[in-house]
Structure 1
Amino acid sequence: MRNGIGPMLGRVFGVIAGLMLLGIMLRLVTALLTPVLPGPLMQMLTSGWQLLFSLVGGAWPAIAAVFIISALLWVVLGRRY
């Protein structure tokens, strides 16, 4: 017996909602810490994020592809089993 498309769409929207929630939480934490932390510490954190993004910047398409393929596999395997 085959399942409908509803559970599969639910999982896809769940993955998208989880990623959006993670991004919103990171923005909120940054907005909360900016006025509290001293200027030099915030500058060090900002430069650290910039360094991380510059190091990983060339690999973003490959990282995104791995996440997309793993999410699709999760949806397909969850539908079958």
Structure 2
Amino acid sequence: MQPLAGQRTLVTGPHLGAADTDMMAWYDGDKTAPEVIVAAALDGIEAHWPELLADAWSRQVKAWLSEDPGVIYRETEAVLTA
């Protein structure tokens, strides 16, 4: 079996926080409009990005990855309990 890249198949992994959809209706925090997520995803595909950070939350989480895990836990708790 040939890898997808070898077949010239682009795989783009979109990452997002909460989108304003029925599935997230229970969530009271900030949500991104679905059309914003879709537009970002299409832009990422057109740009041949293997990874797409579709909203502010996913960009923040990505930035936290290089931090001490304690920072992530404290800042996430502060956001979720605000």
Fold conserved between structures, TM > 0.5: no
Larger Rg computed on CA atoms: 1
Normalising by structure 1, what TM-score? 0.32
Higher percent of residues as strand: 2
TM-score normalised by length of structure 2: 0.31
Which structure has the highest helix share of the two? 1
